[in-house]
Amino acid sequence: MTKRYTRSSATTAEHMADRLDNRDEDVMRGLVTAGALVALADGRVEEVERDELLNFIDRHQLAPTIPRTDIAEVFDRSVQQLEDRDSAEVIIENLRPLVGLSLASVVLRTAQRVAAADRQIHPGELQALELIRLIMTSLSAKGLPVRLPTGDTVGCDSASAYYLHNLIGDA
């Protein structure tokens, strides 16, 4: 006689809620990272860029389990991380969970909306958009290891590594 494993419906519901929360967290982090990268690419983050990111996420219900205020806080922290830490590592770490998913095009579209929010598209923003496009279309789950100026390695293809290096330089 074989034993059957059964879960209570509460456990199943909790498990499904956890999976949805994790999915929303991954989506939110990817979108916020892309938005912060583009917003910083011209040397300054405009409030209108932040607002466009938040409005886009809300309007399309891309992270419905996460309150708007929490997303705004994560955006502000992401801007700080991209300014203070090794940007390439932060970018790859937060975009990787969305690579290969149907949401990859949404990440790029979100970044484009942020770039256009101040009605001026700076050459640095174009370069950031190209980097995001390359990452979302060519970064594999494992990726090729790339040595960063800090000595750390991250996984990405050679084109993405080139754009990362040009975008963030040796900082």
- Tokens, residue 67: 């309150």
pLDDT score recorded for residue 144: 47
Angle of helix 68-84 relative to helix 87-95, nearest 10 degrees?
140
Specify if 164 maps to a domain: yes
48: region left, alpha or beta (phi > 0 left; psi from -120 to 50 alpha): alpha
Residue 4 has pLDDT above 60, yes or no: no
Q: How many domains does the chain have?
A: 1
Specify if 2 maps to a domain: no
d(CA 35, CA 39): 6
Specify if 139 maps to a domain: yes
Domain that holds residue 64: 10-168
- Tokens, residue 168: 């963030």
- When pLDDT is cut at 50, 70 and 90, the band that residue 77 belongs to is very high
Helix (H) or strand (E) holding 30, with range, is helix 9-40
Q: Tell me: the pLDDT tens digits for 32-57?
A: 999 999 999 999 999 999 999 999 99
- When pLDDT is cut at 50, 70 and 90, the band that residue 87 belongs to is confident
pLDDT score recorded for residue 156: 52
Specify if 4 maps to a domain: no
Specify if 5 maps to a domain: no
Share of the chain above pLDDT 70, in %: 67
Helix (H, G, I), strand (E, B) or coil at 145: strand
Residue 91 has pLDDT above 80, yes or no: yes
Of residues 58 and 8, more confidence is placed in 58
From the list 134, 135, 129, 121, the residue with the least C-alpha distance to 90 is: 135
d(CA 45, CA 41): 8
Helix (H, G, I), strand (E, B) or coil at 153: strand
Most confident of 73-77, 132-136, 147-151: 73-77
Specify if 129 maps to a domain: yes
Cα 117 to Cα 43, 61, 103, 125, 150: the distances in Å are 15, 19, 21, 11, 33
pLDDT score recorded for residue 49: 97
d(CA 135, CA 156): 7
Residue 3 has pLDDT above 60, yes or no: no
pLDDT score recorded for residue 146: 47
Mean pLDDT taken over the chain: 80
